[in-house]
Amino acid sequence: MKARVNVTLKPGVLDPQGAAVRHSLGSLGFAGVDKVRQGKVIELDLTENDPIKAKSQVEDMCEKLLANTVIENYSVEIL
């Protein structure tokens, strides 16, 4: 079973990577980009076959390792 985790910075947390991307897009001539936020996507192959158990296991992984819950939000999709 595959799972995808999206980890994004919480609103209000400074995102220097996103700001750098926005600045570079401007330099390359892409106008009309208001805001850029950059996050991580983590794709996991799990041996667990029950989608409910798999989701709860992945949420546990997010809390313990994949996301820094002080500054980041995460969402888990089971594919």
Which is it for the CA torsion 20, 26, 29, 31, positive or negative?
A: positive
Least distance from C-beta 77 to its own copies, angstroms?
A: 12
End-to-end CA distance of the chain: 7
Cβ at position 31, least distance to its own copies in Å: 8
- Closest to its own copies by CB, 43 vs 69, is 43
- Cα–Cα distance, 63 to 74 (Å, whole number): 9
Task: By CB under 8 A, name the binding residues for its own copies.
Answer: 6, 8, 18, 21, 24-25, 28, 30-48, 57, 60-61, 64-66
Q: How far is the CB of 54 from its own copies (least distance, A)?
A: 9
